[in-house]
């Protein structure tokens, strides 16, 4: 059983691992660029948006508030806009609609990030697999030389065997290095994007509370009247 596994590993070699790592790195880079572009297009001054929205709602200018939200490309504005459109149905309805819109926006922002996290966590192990395969191949070659009769050309091959083993091991370690090169940017990008998702979620909650505060205040004024 062990001999069969060893023969299969040696026969396959570690080159396929490097090709796999290359494919993963290209896909990861494409996802990083696509997500970076998405977050860039959604950027806006949320603090300024919050101040403007608060002023417009206090003055009772719902049309102006809608216009201001429509001008913002941010995910936060899209969520609050959904709540504002349902404001006439009451506070509870607006809150539920914003919760649903926020979930959809979060799914949109987190799309493909799981792939980056998976690559970041597992690329070093894939690289280590390539290294193990290379080392097994190196020692397999050394074993073949050791079993050969030491005479003439075989003696010269036996003398060069340790050097060949070290060369093969050095080449095998390249797989681990490549795994780390693929994993580190993927992990860094995943952490950066997830941080932005959390910030967007927090900003959405803050902006949504501005609208909910206005709606609750309007209800209270109506009850007193």
- Residue 173's pLDDT is what? 81
Residue 94: alpha-carbon gap to chain centroid: 32
Backbone angles phi, psi at 76, to 5 degrees: -60, -45
- Residue 168's pLDDT is what? 67
- Residue 143's pLDDT is what? 66
| pLDDT tens digits, one per residue of 173-200 | 888 888 899 999 999 999 999 999 999 9
Q: Looking at the domain assignment, is residue 95 inside a domain?
A: yes
- Residue 151's pLDDT is what? 46
- Residue 128's pLDDT is what? 86
Number of domains composing the chain:
1
| pLDDT tens digits, one per residue of 48-75 | 999 999 999 998 888 999 999 999 999 9
pLDDT reading at 161 higher than 60 = no
- Residue 88's pLDDT is what? 85
pLDDT reading at 141 higher than 80 = no
Between 43 and 172, where is the model more confident?
Answer: 43
Question: What is the secondary structure of 111-161 as a DSSP string?
Answer: TTHHHHHHHHHHHHHHHHHHHHHHHHHHHHHHHHHHHS--STHHHHHHHHH
Q: Which range is least confidently modeled, 19-23, 38-42, 129-133, 141-145?
A: 141-145
Between 141 and 151, where is the model more confident?
Answer: 141
Q: Looking at the domain assignment, is residue 225 inside a domain?
A: no
115 burial level (CB within 10 Å; 0-12, 13-18, 19+): middle
Other CB atoms within 10 A of residue 48 CB: 11
- Residue 224's pLDDT is what? 52
SS3 90: coil
Computed over every residue of the chain, the mean pLDDT equals 84
Q: Confidence class of residue 217 from pLDDT cuts 50, 70 and 90?
A: confident
- Domain span at residue 146 reads 2-219
What percent of the chain clears pLDDT 70, i.e. is strictly above it?
77
- The sign of the dihedral angle between the CA atoms of 11, 15, 21, 25 is negative
Q: What is the mean pLDDT of residues 89-107?
A: 92
Q: Looking at the domain assignment, is residue 224 inside a domain?
A: no
Q: Confidence class of residue 152 from pLDDT cuts 50, 70 and 90?
A: very low
Residues 34 and 125 sit within 8 Å (Cβ to Cβ)? no
């Amino acid at each position: 059983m062990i001999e069969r596994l060893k023969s299969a590993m040696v026969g396959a070699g570690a080159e396929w691992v490097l090709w796999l790592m290359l494919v993963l790195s290209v896909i990861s880079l494409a996802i990083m660029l696509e997500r970076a572009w998405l977050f860039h297009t959604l950027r806006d001054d949320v603090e300024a948006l919050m101040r403007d929205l608060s002023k417009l709602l206090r003055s009772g200018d719902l049309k102006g508030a809608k216009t201001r939200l429509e001008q913002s490309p941010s995910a936060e504005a899209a969520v609050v806009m959904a709540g504002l459109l349902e404001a006439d149905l009451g506070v509870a309805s607006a809150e539920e609609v914003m919760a649903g819109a926020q979930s959809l926006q979060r799914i949109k922002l987190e799309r493909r990030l799981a792939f980056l996290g998976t690559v970041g966590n597992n690329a070093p192990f894939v690289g280590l697999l390539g290294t193990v395969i290379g080392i097994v191949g190196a020692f397999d070659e050394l074993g073949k030389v050791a079993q050969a009769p030491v005479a003439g050309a075989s003696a010269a091959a036996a003398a060069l065997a340790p050097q060949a083993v070290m060369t093969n091991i050095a080449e095998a370690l390249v797989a681990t290095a490549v795994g780390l090169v693929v994993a580190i940017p993927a992990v860094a990008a995943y952490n950066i994007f997830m941080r932005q998702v959390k910030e967007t979620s927090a900003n959405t909650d803050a902006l949504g509370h501005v609208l909910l505060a206005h709606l609750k205040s309007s209800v209270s004024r109506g009850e007193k009247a």
